[in-house]
Amino acid sequence: MTCLTIRPKHRREDSTRLLTELLRCVKCHAPLEHVVTLETVAFDCLQCASRYPIIDGIPRFVSAEFIRRDEHNDELARKTKNYFGFEWDHFRDWGFLPDTPSGVDPNTSGGTVSDRQRAFQSKCRLNEDDLGRDKVVLDAGCGNGRYTLEAALRGPRLVIGVDLGYGAVTSARDNTQQHDNVVIIQADLHDLPFRDDVIDSCFSNGVLMHTGDAERAFGEIARTIRPGGVFVAHVYQKLHTIWEHNDRHIRDFTTKLSIEEGLEFARLMAQLARFLDRFEGVLPRANDYLRLQVTEHHMFDWYSAPTASHHTYAELAAWFDAHAFSLLDELPSHPDQPTGEWACNLKGRKR
């Protein structure tokens, strides 16, 4: 059972005021001003006059074509916006589904409130000190806001959820709008609109490997974290040669599918997984050679992501070290080899 700390009431205008102090222009890096007129609500650059509109309550640090789905998938960033935008619009209730008796609906496995709470503890791994009442917390790649919400419930001063996907930020806004200590913004993890050294605690759960350059995204997030601040990074782990070969060839096919075709493929893979799961030990054995899960959402997330890089613990640890973080975790005895888990998860503190 999760214990939550009751904090004093936080006002929406307090969050906007604090956010303004943290932001910078993504073009010239100058400070921004919060502007409210009869015609517009936006953040304006005080130096180059760039304007970042607040549309539907979400500050947009992206160009206009990123605000909704389109059919232009020739550029990775726009395809990522489209596919993950669709995912978190279609699966907007993932992590908010009511708890049901085990086995009643395997297609909800991982998507209930209890699943969300457990995953926040095991993957995001911010403790009470990291989420203290004076802390500014960043959810780097917030999806539909399920972990943004978990962080906010613990009472930090401000939680900022950032995502590139159009449907991700609208779903995250809807799922967290009752909490005045949450702000959702649309931005690219390769070009964040934050000043240096302003974030106290950050988690990025299963996102860096979908950016096209995970190391660059890691470095950009690291830039924003204060000395003494913490960062938890959770990325896909590089598995054994046969598994990686199979996954690469399946994804060579699935990443060429349309969004709707990818959703149908996900349904078929989930049905196959549920069939194999009827026989003791068969589904875990199949996962020694390819990714198979019983939920449509997990299969869409895995196979329809436009890009997905896999990494070793040694690689992830090197990123922490290169950006002046001391690890708070012990590495596996052979950090350059697969551990048998799907992901690498490390926590570090900035020196």
Distance CA 340, CA 122 (A): 17
Indicate whether 7 pLDDT > 70. Answer: no
Per-residue pLDDT tens digits for 135-192: 999 999 999 999 999 999 999 999 999 999 999 999 999 999 999 999 999 999 999 9
**Contact of 235 with 307, CB cutoff 8 Å:** no
Give the per-residue pLDDT at 103: 54
Contacts of 75 (CB under 8 A, 6+ apart): none
Give the per-residue pLDDT at 104: 62
**Contact of 276 with 286, CB cutoff 8 Å:** yes
pTM, two decimals, is: 0.94
**Structural tokens at position 277:** 């799961």
Indicate whether 1 pLDDT > 80. Answer: no
Indicate whether 126 pLDDT > 80. Answer: yes
What are the counts of helices (DSSP H) followed by strands (DSSP E) for the chain?
11, 11
Nearest in space to 230 (alpha carbons), one of 119, 135, 295: 135
Q: What is the DSSP string of 4-64?
A: --------HHHHHHHHHHHBB-TTT--BEEEEE-SS-EEEEETTT--EEEEETTEEB-S-G
Residues forming beta bridges with residue 94, ordered by sequence position = none
Q: Quote the Cα angle for 266-271-276, to 5°.
A: 125
Q: State the average pLDDT for the chain.
A: 94
Per-residue pLDDT tens digits for 254-273: 999 999 999 999 999 999 99
